[in-house]
Amino acid sequence: MSEPINPDKYDPIDLGAALERIGGDASFLIELLDIYFREYTEKRRLLEEAIARQDFGEVSELGHSLKGASANLSLTRLHKAALSLEMAGRERKIHQVQEAADVLENEIANLKTYLEMHPLAGSV
């Protein structure tokens, strides 16, 4: 899979690509993002537990799963953060794992802000 050259300069979501994947249905995208946030909350809890007991396998799996979900919704920056988490987990580096988890949390906040400023309902 080709990684964006510098995802930092992208919006948290590539709306065009995300909508194209679901036939341009903005209300469906809202529904999917809702699921995404709920999934994230659940995974965040599991991630903190996994970090606490240094379960790198679980960290890596959670990263992998978040990476997939982010890619599906074209959440470019979250995708990158989840990939870092997966890699850090695989390399069993607790410091990097913690760092990636923090970036992930920031990116979630970024996405929420972005969505508040760019309401999807009006984009159809």
Partner 1 sequence: MKILIAEDDPISSKILQKNLENWDYDTVLARNGAAAWQALQDENLRLAILDWMMPGMDGVEVCRKIRRRRRFKYTYIILLSAKDRKQDIIAGLSSGADDYMTKPVNFLELRARLKAGRRIIDLEDKLLLAQKQLKDIASRDSLTRIWNRAEITKFLGEELERGQREKKAVGVIMLDVDHFKSINDFYGHAIGDQALLQVVSRLKKKVRKSDKIGRYGGDEIIIVLPNCGLPDIRKIGERLRLAVTNRGISAKPDTIPITISAGCATSDLWEMADTDKLVKAADLALLSAKEQGRNRVVVAGEDLDLRKENRNVRTH
- CB 88 to partner 1: min, Å: 17
The 3-state DSSP class for residue 1 equals coil
Nearer to partner 1, 18 or 100 (CB): 18
- Minimum CB distance to partner 1, residue 15 (Å): 15
Interacting residues toward partner 1 by CB under 8 A = 1, 21-23, 25, 28, 31-32, 35-36, 39, 64-65, 67-69, 71-74
Q: How far is the CB of 95 from partner 1 (least distance, A)?
A: 25
Amino acid making up residue 77: R
How crowded is the C-beta side of 35, counted as CA atoms within 13 Å?
Answer: 10
Alpha helices in the chain (DSSP H): 15-21, 26-52, 56-72, 76-90, 94-117
* Closer to partner 1 by Cβ: residue 23 or 122: 23
Cβ proximity to partner 1, 33 vs 100, nearer residue = 33
Q: Give CA–CA dist 86/9, Å, rounded.
A: 22
